[in-house]
């Protein structure tokens, strides 16, 4: 209700666009909740390792959970093909030229899945550290995948993305010896923007640190099963 | 004139926005040409190495050329500070939340420079492999900086950006031994989208391959000086 009061202060056009997407996001959330699906929105720069993290997650969790992936890309089905090869049901959204997924695009892809047969839905957003942060999809959790070669100044330069997420993965730590990445400086930036954020420092290449991430996902699935969220 | 015919087929709102930006871009171009400035628009994913490439370019070319940098970021003046420390005049544009520079933002920054005293203007766009490709700034050349850890599938997944640029830098080749980057696959993608594109494979960290890039920039400045574009 406090939220409504804020919305009415916005200029009309923006209010309309935002609330249309937010309304659809709420409907998506309802679909997830009715079907008992835990849905996560994974966001990152191009090439940070979203697809690799998804592949590892599918391989590790598929034995005890039913996984599906929705991949958002401007073009190609490379990512959905990889998710499928790793063992998940996968749907590709090609946005044409759009720089982010929105709730309506996700809804279209959901129609191709049988939600009642899914425990965990991973939504891989378009590779972009800016625009996806502004569009709710209706997922329960948002996850940002940062990567070491991107550099440690990224929280400071992309604050909206870092501020809004529920968990942070720092990928490609196998490259730490070869690049200039100031981890304390990076972590200070994250802590300022998003105090206490769940953070998983890992390498999809070597597997180092993956267990903590997988445990977190398992716990989230379990919490949803028990309806305790 | 052929162009006008196409424009009239667009839906009204899009026509208005595009032509407003294009008009301003043409005005920026006129300012550059009248002052004898060569202007380049540098685009890339977050962390691909735009600022490092700019630092190297400033250090190598400042002796014989007057350089200026305009840096576009959502927040902070980290990049402009680095350009200034390397020896160029630098202006920072903070877009607030916007995911790209447009011709109007650039124009605002140009007002802070004395164009008659500049030979080369490097415009560092917001880190984003999608949106900046859709906004002309009025620069003479557009340059895309790719980086090896981003992965070799990027031309296929971000075709609009790869199709539209005048030169391509492939940075961080010092990391080739540590990541899976299929150079022939990458280059095939580039060649399909942008046949004959000028391509500079280099490492800002080790300096390998930088000379070819610097020669290209020098030649472009020289061509502009001689008015032969």
Please check whether residue B126 is in contact with residue B42, taking contact to mean a CB–CB distance below 8 angstroms. no
**What pLDDT score was predicted for residue B14?**
55
Give the residue from B96, B149, B179 with the most A CB atoms within 10 Å of its CB, the best one to mutate. Answer: B149
* A52-93 per-position pLDDT tens digit: 999 999 999 999 999 999 999 999 999 999 999 999 999 999
Residue A6 has pLDDT above 90, yes or no: no
DSSP 8-class letter at B138: S
The rounded distance, in Å, linking the Cα atoms of A146 and B216 is 33
How many domains are there within chain A?
1
Q: How many helices and strands, by DSSP H and E, does chain B display?
A: 9, 7
Determine whether the interchain pair B153/A178 forms a contact, defined as Cβ–Cβ distance below 8 Å: no
The rounded distance, in Å, linking the Cα atoms of B121 and B101 is 15
Q: Which pair of tokens denotes residue B201?
A: 């494979």
Give the residue numbers spanning the domain of B104: 2-225
On chain A, the residues whose CB falls within 8 A of the CB of B175 are: 149, 175, 178-179
Q: What average pLDDT does this structure show over B56-85?
A: 96
* A113-130 per-position pLDDT tens digit: 999 999 999 999 999 999
Helix locations, chain B, DSSP H = 2-7, 12-35, 50-61, 78-85, 103-110, 154-157, 159-164, 183-193, 210-225
Phi, psi for A122 (deg, rounded to 5): -100, 120
Please give the share of chain B, as a percent, with pLDDT higher than 70: 91
On chain A, the residues whose CB falls within 8 A of the CB of B75 are: 156-159
The rounded distance, in Å, linking the Cα atoms of B14 and B16 is 5
Q: Distances from the Cα of B31 to the Cαs of B23, B105, B111, B122, in angstroms?
A: 13, 15, 11, 15
Q: Which H or E run includes A169?
A: strand A167-171
Residue A196 C-alpha, separation from nearest chain B C-alpha, in angstroms: 22
**What pLDDT score was predicted for residue A96?**
87
**What pLDDT score was predicted for residue A94?**
94
DSSP 8-class letter at B160: H
Order of strands, sheet of B141-147, starting from the edge strand that comes earlier in the sequence: B89-94, B67-73, B120-124, B38-44, B141-147, B167-171, B198-201
**What pLDDT score was predicted for residue A12?**
53
Residue A150 has pLDDT above 70, yes or no: yes
Please check whether residue A224 is in contact with residue A140, taking contact to mean a CB–CB distance below 8 angstroms. yes
Q: Which domain CATH number covers B192?
A: 3.40.50.300
Residue B8 has pLDDT above 50, yes or no: no
* A162-200 per-position pLDDT tens digit: 999 999 999 999 999 999 999 999 999 999 999 999 999
Which residues of B make CB contacts under 8 Å with A?
A: 45-47, 73-76, 78, 97, 99, 126-131, 134, 147, 149-151, 153-154, 156-160, 172, 174-175, 178-179, 205
Residue B10 has pLDDT above 60, yes or no: no
Determine whether the interchain pair A156/B76 forms a contact, defined as Cβ–Cβ distance below 8 Å: yes
Complex prediction ipTM: 0.89
On chain B, the residues whose CB falls within 8 A of the CB of A150 are: 45-47
Q: What average pLDDT does this structure show over B179-185?
A: 97
Task: Spell out a b/e string for B61-90, using b for 16 or more CB atoms within 10 Å of the CB, else e.
Answer: beeebbbbbbbbbbebbebbebbbebebbb
Residue A95 has pLDDT above 60, yes or no: yes
| Nearest-by-Cβ selection for B149 from A128, A156, A175 | A175
Q: What average pLDDT does this structure show over B142-162?
A: 97
**What pLDDT score was predicted for residue A34?**
95
The rounded distance, in Å, linking the Cα atoms of A202 and A10 is 41
Residue A117 C-alpha, separation from nearest chain B C-alpha, in angstroms: 30
Q: Please state the pTM of the whole predicted model.
A: 0.91
Residue A50 C-alpha, separation from nearest chain B C-alpha, in angstroms: 11
Determine whether the interchain pair B130/A172 forms a contact, defined as Cβ–Cβ distance below 8 Å: no
On chain B, the residues whose CB falls within 8 A of the CB of A154 are: 46-47
**What pLDDT score was predicted for residue A7?**
45
Find the range with the poorest average confidence among A120-124, B40-44, B75-79. B75-79
Residue B5 has pLDDT above 50, yes or no: no
**Among residues A54, A48, A45, A93, which one has the least CA distance to residue A72?**
A93
Residue B1 has pLDDT above 60, yes or no: no
Determine whether the interchain pair B97/A160 forms a contact, defined as Cβ–Cβ distance below 8 Å: yes
């Amino acid at each position: 209700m406090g939220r409504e009061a804020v919305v009415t202060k916005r200029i009309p056009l923006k209010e309309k666009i935002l609330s249309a997407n937010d309304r659809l996001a709420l409907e998506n959330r309802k679909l997830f909740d009715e079907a008992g699906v835990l849905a996560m929105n994974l966001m990152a720069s191009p090439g940070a390792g979203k697809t690799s993290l998804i592949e590892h997650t599918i391989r590790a969790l598929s034995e005890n959970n039913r996984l599906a992936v929705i991949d958002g890309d401007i073009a190609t089905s490379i990512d959905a093909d990889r998710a499928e090869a790793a063992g998940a049901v996968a749907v590709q959204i090609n946005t044409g030229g759009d720089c982010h997924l929105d709730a309506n695009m996700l809804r279209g892809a959901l129609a191709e899945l049988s939600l009642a047969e899914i425990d965990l839905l991973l939504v891989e957003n378009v590779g972009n550290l800016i625009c996806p942060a502004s569009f709710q999809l209706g997922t329960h959790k948002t996850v940002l995948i940062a990567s070491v070669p991107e550099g440690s100044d990224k929280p400071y330069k992309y604050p909206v993305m870092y501020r809004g997420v529920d968990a942070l993965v720092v990928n490609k730590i196998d490259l730490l010896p070869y690049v200039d990445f100031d981890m304390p400086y990076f972590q200070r930036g994250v802590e300022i923007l998003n105090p206490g954020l769940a953070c998983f420092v890992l390498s999809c290449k070597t597997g180092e640190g993956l267990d903590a991430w997988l445990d977190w996902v398992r716990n989230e699935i379990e919490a949803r099963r028990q309806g305790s969220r």
